[in-house]
Structure 1
């Protein structure tokens, strides 16, 4: 079991960002769940981003927490986005068939390919 640090910040455009660092597993998912649900209840933001740039490990409980957050956000009318999942986290979401639900490309490299091909239009 690892550690996770969860922080919440507001961007200049008003979007709330929950940044997660470390592992998302049985020992740490409660902090993320509390941050997501508390932020949705208190703030009711238009958009809530969960930044996964520095998540080094995520198990099924971490995935379940993100799915629960997505559902809770939908219930209050908040747009729920995942940002910068590490290759490991992206693979976990792809294997479970959740990349599309979270609006992620099928693979980390396809986002770059998509951007380059659109730039050529």
Structure 2
């Protein structure tokens, strides 16, 4: 298990980016949710971006964490975008039907 790191980057007014790196799985899912819970009230962004470019593993628990983050952001009146998902992560989001839920972007 490599773990997960989350790096906060205030991009521009109203947008916050959290760069994730490592494994987003059962062992690390709560770390992502806690990061989003901390960012939303602290920065009150209009847009939150989770950069997945360096996420090496995304299992069902990790997908559940992304859904939880989407719900938190949505409840705070904030849009959530997933940026740069790797091909396997993209395929998993497609398979679960979540491509219709999440906004996606590339850098």
TM-score (norm 2): 0.90
Matches within 5 A, 1:7-86: 7-86=7-86
**Does 2:98 correspond to 1:95?**
no
| Larger Rg, first or second structure (1 or 2) | 1
Runs of 4+ in 1 over 6 A off after TM superposition: none
Alpha-carbon distance in structure 1 between the residues aligned to 2:42 and 2:68: 17
Whose strand fraction is larger, Structure 1's or Structure 2's? 2
Q: C-alpha displacement at 1:29, in angstroms?
A: 1.4
Cα RMSD over matched residues?
Answer: 1.7
Q: Looking at both structures, which has the greater relative contact order when contacts are Cα pairs under 8 Å and sequence separation is at least 6?
A: 2
Q: Deviations over 1:75-117 (max 9, x none)?
A: 1100111100000110110111001111249xxxxx8xxxxxx
Q: C-alpha displacement at 1:41, in angstroms?
A: 2.3
TM-score (norm 1): 0.81
Alpha-carbon distance in structure 1 between the residues aligned to 2:4 and 2:58: 10
Q: Contact 1:56–1:88 (CA<8 Å) still a contact in 2?
A: no
Q: Structure 2, unaligned stretches of length 5 or more?
A: none
1:99 is paired with a residue of what secondary structure?
Answer: helix
Q: C-alpha displacement at 1:45, in angstroms?
A: 0.5
Per the alignment, do residues 13 and 43 of structure 1 end up closer, same or farther by CA in structure 2, a change over 3 Å counting? closer
Alpha-carbon distance in structure 2 between the residues aligned to 1:26 and 1:16: 25
Size of the aligned set, in residue pairs, is 106
